[in-house]
Amino acid sequence: MDHCKEEISRVLAPLVMLEESRIAGLLEEPPAPEMGDLAFPCFTLAAQKKQSPAAIAAELGEALSGRRGECWEKAVARGPYLNFYLDYPVFSRDLLKKIYEAGSEYGRSNLGKGGAIVIDYSSPNICKPFGIGHIRSTVIGHALCLILEAQGYRTIGINHLGDWGTQFGKMIVAYERWGDDEKLQQDPVNYLYHLYVRFHQEAEKNDAFEEEARAWFKRLEDGEEEAVNYWQLFRRLSLENYDQIYDLLGIKFDYYHGESHYNDMLDDVIRMVQEKGVAVESEGALIVDLEKYGLPPAMLRKKDGATLYLTRDLAAAQYRHRTFNFVKALYVVGAEQKLHFQQMVKILELLGFSWAQDCIHIPFGLIRFKEGRMSTREGKMILLEEVLQKAINLAREIIEEKNPGLADKESAARMVGLGAVRFGDLSNDRVKDVEFDWDKVLDFSGETAAYIQYAHARICSILRRSGSADPAWSDEAIAALGREEEKALVKTLAAYPEKIEASAASYRPSILARYLVDVARDFNRFYHECPVLVDDPELRRARLLLILAVRQVLKNGLGLLGIAAPEEM
């Protein structure tokens, strides 16, 4: 589509006395296909020439009447717009050939030129079970890794495990008082969770518990053997559980650098902020006063000498820049931590790091219940494992009902069930809160992953029945495509690269997710109106090549969202 815009801009430039790049920026898509494929609005020109936009459009239409270009067949004035109609035989041939030749590379680019992007995502808190709340960071972060990689960046996925902090003090207190080795070995994460909830219940009644917890964390920071042993035990057991989930989701991190990874860099951070005069002592604590910048003060060291999350994030940012020399460092973390990242970036700036602004918080909304927010402390949460398992089970039931003869039902159920959960988190704009609703999570109709996967599976099925999974390319055959459904499909396929680019530029996988629904919808319309396996050999070949391209885009696109594309379901 881009080269069509360029060509049209070249044609218009001498007529309207505007720069080509300016014209290309103005070109837009008309609201309905019968109005053409690209429109040049004449409003800005009207102001300059002091004529009505409709008159200018008509004039341009007159000037171009009878003319055609390499990729367009006619230009027609309609109201204040000059509408260009694509030359579909040529456009379709060029596009489908491009997809045919590029295959799994279609949509990929080298915009990033190998620049390193560090992506901090998933980052569950040790000792707490993997809740549905953490799925957003996990799924969005993973999709961003894949999308940015497709734009030519070198991505470095880091699981910034919450494996340090006062919650370990709490866990140790709880385990010392109520812990049972046997129960811990049986079902470690759930048992730790049980203790965590109990701690907060007891702490409600007795302030001494919180104090005790802080003391234990201080002992952990000081490296006392007993505390460290507990910490190692809890950490190991939690990680074993997380790995099962990551395996199921097909996610591999480049590094599991949790907060504890930066422990021996914290003294340097403290020293640096003091030497540069960025931090001051206040009420026994070490803080950075950010009032000048409209931000509340940020604490780097508590009065008991223990450090905080922010201190470790400052260390982590410097470590990451030093180690990976990133062009961007993304933090896929809930919107409720916005202030934290504003403070972090501002402090990095005050410390004189030119790359401070390259640290970017990618916020997302909360998952909440109808009744209110989730709370790990109060035990009000839903386990991710449960959600994934239920989705897979339901997918299995539906497959059993709809396609009982399917050979590998288990694998298809996994692809569909996991796809549904992933898509649910990727298809809506990140920043919005979402209400957790089992019916919605377990819905496989309408705008869902299953809808896209089904389109893909149908195409695979047609290709199987055609007797050739990989029909040979033919320039001539493509001319047989002329139905509205076919043109719409071709045009949608052409938008794929720009959708990935938009997704990457705004760090919003939802753009790509929505687009894939459009592709699947256009395909389904085509499917119902245009039989592929017809007798006419040219038409048959043309449609086979068309659906081959659709399959490629669906597969590539789903791949960038971390969603599998089943051949049968």
Binding mask 87-126 for RNA (x = CB under 7 A): --------------------------------------x-
Residue from 154, 380, 390, 521 in contact with RNA (CB under 7 A): 521
Q: Is 68 in the site for RNA (CB under 7 A)?
A: no
Q: Is 56 in the site for RNA (CB under 7 A)?
A: no
| Subset of residues 371 to 390 that bind RNA, contact rule: CB under 7 A | 372-373
Residue from 299, 330, 350, 542 in contact with RNA (CB under 7 A): 299
Hey, what are 563's tokens? 């969603």
Residue number with CB closer to RNA (354 or 528): 528
Residue from 127, 308, 480, 550 in contact with RNA (CB under 7 A): 308
Q: Is 194 in the site for RNA (CB under 7 A)?
A: no
Hey, what are 30's tokens? 């008309």
CA dist 541 and 278 (Å) reads: 69
Tell me how far apart the terminal alpha carbons of the chain are, to the nearest angstrom: 33
β-strand pairing of 81-86 with 38-41: antiparallel
Residue number with CB closer to RNA (237 or 395): 395
Which stretch in 133-141, 231-239, 349-357, 396-404 sits in contact with RNA by CB under 7 A? 396-404
Give the shortest CB-456-to-RNA separation in angstroms: 9
Q: Is 138 in the site for RNA (CB under 7 A)?
A: no
Binding mask 412-451 for RNA (x = CB under 7 A): x---x-----------xx-xxxxx----x--xxxxx--xx
β-strand pairing of 154-158 with 116-120: parallel
Give the shortest CB-254-to-RNA separation in angstroms: 20
Residues comprising the chain, all counted: 569
Give the shortest CB-369-to-RNA separation in angstroms: 10
Give the shortest CB-115-to-RNA separation in angstroms: 26
| Subset of residues 148 to 177 that bind RNA, contact rule: CB under 7 A | 162, 164-167
Q: Is 263 in the site for RNA (CB under 7 A)?
A: no
Q: Which of 400, 407, 97, 135 is nearest to 246 (CA)?
A: 135
CA dist 142 and 29 (Å) reads: 32
| Subset of residues 15 to 54 that bind RNA, contact rule: CB under 7 A | 28, 30-32, 35-36, 39, 41, 43-44, 47, 53
Question: How many residues line the site for RNA (CB under 7 A)?
Answer: 96
Give the shortest CB-182-to-RNA separation in angstroms: 29
Sheet containing strand 72-78, strands side by side: 38-41, 81-86, 72-78
Residue number with CB closer to RNA (114 or 372): 372
Which stretch in 4-12, 89-97, 186-194, 393-401 sits in contact with RNA by CB under 7 A? 393-401
Give the DSSP per-residue string, 432-484.
S-EE--HHHHT--SSSSHHHHHHHHHHHHHHHHHHT-SSPPP-TTGGGG--SH
CA dist 18 and 494 (Å) reads: 27
> Which position has the token pair 């490296």?
223
Residue number with CB closer to RNA (118 or 394): 394
Residues 6+ apart with CB under 8 A from 46: 52, 53, 56, 80
Q: Is 228 in the site for RNA (CB under 7 A)?
A: no
Q: Is 557 in the site for RNA (CB under 7 A)?
A: no
Give the shortest CB-215-to-RNA separation in angstroms: 11
Q: CA 64 → CA 49, 69, 306, distances in Å?
A: 19, 10, 74
Residues 6+ apart with CB under 8 A from 308: 299, 300, 301, 302
